[in-house]
């Protein structure tokens, strides 16, 4: 990709990774992702972040084109140390010998363990409130710890009303477009929500504090540049991105339930359908997700705004089926809040499934609806009625919670 001038003398010099299909354990299929880096041409040519090392040649080519054929980097800003953003940092330092490398205090602590050749680098820690001059422009630094690593920070240039926000407000999106207003709004919302659900969700309390802090700083931002995906351009789009993050972080339940299950001989699958009917009878929107056909990251995207999560599995070797265990382990790490839970399943002879599923959901802090439904071998009419009633009870619990 050629560099793109996003404001006067400020260039996107990132790369598009069309073939990436896994990102931190969640599936990107079929979208791929983007590693964004930005170069500001001023008295001090300043580079904000780098890209994954696999794309070094493309990155260096973009820098050379942005600089007009004679590349030069005086200052380096490292907003985040993760290898998809600092993967080319050692090469940049070796080739351009920047006068200074700026990172957050936590970034300074961790830099050496990522870049073993950094002992003699001119590193300078810039805590929140610090600023530097790069000529006509000032760069202000704001730590955004745990969005989503301890070293993350945001860099803001007030003269251009532009903020480089690192991982925050990003999406995994591969395209030739560079701005959010160039693509369908519903699609970009889905991608933003997907990224939040699978990466940022555990840090929702921190997100709210950070958003409040940014509001308190009264920053005038009309362009928000994340390290993944498309750039938010214009005050309306910037406000939209900030508001989406606030709504995601609040994790308010909706009239929606997600039924997650696996099945061996279709008994648990049929139970899921009967439970769905009970939920729908209470006016609840339902997503039924077989873990054989839906990646755990797709499940989390649906769980993000759900009011309830219902999980089913047959008993398997005195436990639950492996793909269900995978989803529950992944979900627990992302710490969804404000959910109602329920368990169901079938068994042949030992029957531990419902107990194990309940323990998983209780361990995530979900409000359980009882009694869970468990059936030996094949469900009959009475079992389906019990499943329908379980769905109704969960639906009633969602409605009661929303009206409280």
Backbone angles phi, psi at 255, to 5 degrees: -80, 65
Catalytic position from the list 42, 82, 237, 262: 82
The helix (run of H) or strand (run of E) holding residue 321 is none
Set 85, 228, 296, 360: catalytic member: 228
Distance CA 68, CA 350 (A): 71
The yes-or-no answer on residue 116 being catalytic is: no
Distance CA 132, CA 164 (A): 15
Query: Active site residue: 17, 49, 84, 160, which one?
Result: 84
Nearest residue to 101 via CA among 133, 79, 71, 72? 79
φ, ψ dihedrals at 337, nearest 5°? -120, 160
Q: Which of 42, 75, 80, 360 is catalytic?
A: 80
* Residue 108 bears catalytic tag: no
> Does the active-site annotation cover 97?
no
Q: Is residue 82 annotated as a catalytic residue, yes or no?
A: yes
Distance of CA 197 to the CA centre of its chain: 5
**∠ Cα 5 236 250 (to 5°):** 115
How far separated are the first and last CA of the chain, in Å rounded? Answer: 52
195 in active site: yes
Walk across the sheet containing 138-143 and list its strands.
131-133, 138-143, 153-157, 162-166, 223-226, 232-233
**Catalytic, out of 26, 35, 75, 195:** 195
24 is catalytic: yes
Dist CA 108 CA 349 (whole Å): 57
Q: What are the residue numbers of the active site?
A: 24, 80, 82, 84, 148, 167, 195, 228
């Amino acid at each position: 990709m050629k560099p793109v001038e996003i404001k006067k003398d400020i260039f996107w010099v990132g790369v598009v990774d069309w073939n990436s299909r896994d990102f931190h354990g969640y599936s990107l299929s079929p979208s791929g992702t983007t590693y964004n880096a930005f170069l500001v041409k001023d008295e001090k040519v300043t580079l904000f972040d780098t890209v994954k090392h696999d794309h070094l040649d493309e990155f260096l080519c973009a820098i050379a084109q942005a600089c007009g054929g004679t590349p030069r980097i005086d200052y380096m800003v490292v907003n985040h140390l993760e290898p998809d953003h600092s993967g080319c940092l050692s090469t940049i330092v070796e080739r351009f010998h920047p006068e200074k490398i700026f990172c957050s205090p936590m970034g300074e602590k961790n830099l050496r363990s990522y870049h073993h050749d950094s002992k003699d680098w001119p590193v300078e820690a810039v805590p929140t409130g610090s600023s530097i001059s790069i000529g006509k422009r000032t760069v202000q630094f704001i730590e955004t710890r745990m969005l989503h690593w301890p070293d993350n920070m945001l860099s803001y240039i007030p003269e251009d009303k532009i903020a480089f926000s690192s991982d925050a407000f990003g999406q995994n999106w591969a395209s030739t477009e560079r701005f959010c207003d160039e693509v369908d709004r519903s699609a970009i919302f889905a991608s933003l929500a997907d990224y939040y659900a699978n990466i940022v969700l555990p840090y929702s309390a921190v997100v709210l504090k950070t958003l409040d802090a940014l509001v308190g700083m009264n920053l005038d931002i009309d362009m928000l540049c994340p390290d993944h995906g498309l750039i938010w351009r214009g005050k309306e789009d910037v406000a939209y991105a900030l508001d989406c993050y606030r709504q995601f972080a609040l994790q308010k339940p909706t009239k929606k339930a997600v039924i997650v299950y696996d099945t061996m001989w279709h008994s648990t699958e049929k139970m899921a359908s009967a439970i769905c009917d009970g939920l729908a009878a209470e006016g609840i929107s339902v997503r039924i997700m077989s873990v054989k056909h839906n990646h755990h990251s797709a499940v989390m995207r649906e769980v993000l705004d759900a009011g309830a999560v219902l999980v089913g599995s047959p008993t398997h070797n005195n436990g639950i089926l492996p793909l269900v265990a995978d989803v529950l382990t992944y979900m627990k790490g992302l710490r969804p809040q404000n959910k109602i839970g329920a368990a169901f399943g079938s068994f042949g002879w030992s029957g531990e499934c419902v107990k194990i599923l309940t323990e998983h959901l209780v361990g995530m802090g979900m409000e359980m609806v009882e009694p869970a439904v468990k059936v030996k071998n094949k469900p009959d009419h009475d079992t389906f009625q019990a499943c329908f009633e379980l769905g109704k009870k969960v639906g009633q619990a969602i409605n009661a919670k929303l009206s409280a």
